[in-house]
Amino acid sequence: MAIIANPQHPGEHRELAASRAAAEQLRVELIYLPARNRAELDTALAAVAAGQPDAAVVFPDALTLGQREALARFFLQQRIPSATGWAPFAESGHLVSFGPDLRVAYRRLAYFVDRIIKGASPADLPIELPTTFEMVVNRRIATALNLVLPASLLLRADRVID
């Protein structure tokens, strides 16, 4: 399984460590492909095309979010199922996403901006972790890849894109 990630993105090292631990338990070989910019992303995709992994995971950040549609087209052309952590990726043609519900996160962000505008010191505000997560499955992509998705996965999904 290929992992494409920006090593400069905060939290990337924790995501990668967790991915490596899970892969070790599942006996899945990981191929880590760092991408700090568009040129490195192109290099990573060339490595994916050459290696033809069984699946790919794209760690979400500003770079990959901006390239999510091109990435989805690439993985579909290569016939490689792709997963990521934010719903806009699945909405743009990746097979599945599981991660924080960005709509809820943005509402919380607005709450903090409001508090700061009203005079609160950012240093005095608590750090919050996401509490609402969502799984989005793109059944259209599964069909295009000739994948049969288990009913249990579809039942657990918060949204299924047909």
Q: Where are the domains of the chain?
A: 2-100+133-161
Q: What is the mean pLDDT of the chain?
A: 96
Q: Kindly tell me the number of DSSP H helices and DSSP E strands found in the chain.
A: 8, 7
Mean of pLDDT values over 136-160: 97
What is the pLDDT at residue 138? 98
What is the pLDDT at residue 51? 96
Taking the model in full, what pTM does it have? 0.90
Summarised one tens digit per residue, pLDDT across range 81-108 is 999 999 999 999 999 999 999 999 999 9
Which secondary-structure segment (H or E) carries 24? helix 12-26
- Is residue 130 within 8 Å of 101, Cβ to Cβ? yes
Q: Which two tokens stand for residue 56?
A: 């790919």
How far apart CA 130 and CA 146 sit, in angstroms, is: 34
- Is residue 136 within 8 Å of 97, Cβ to Cβ? yes
Summarised one tens digit per residue, pLDDT across range 26-64 is 999 999 999 999 999 999 999 999 999 999 999 999 999
Q: How far lies 153's CA from each of 46, 64, 84, 125, 137, in Å?
A: 31, 25, 16, 38, 8
Residues in the chain: 162
Q: Read out DSSP for 45-95?
A: HHHHHHH--S-EEE--SHHHHHTHHHHHHHHHHHT--EEESSHHHHHTT-S
CATH of domain 2-100+133-161: 3.40.50.2300
> Residue 148 — pLDDT band, cuts 50, 70, 90?
very high
Angle at 160 between CA 66 and CA 70, to 5 degrees: 25
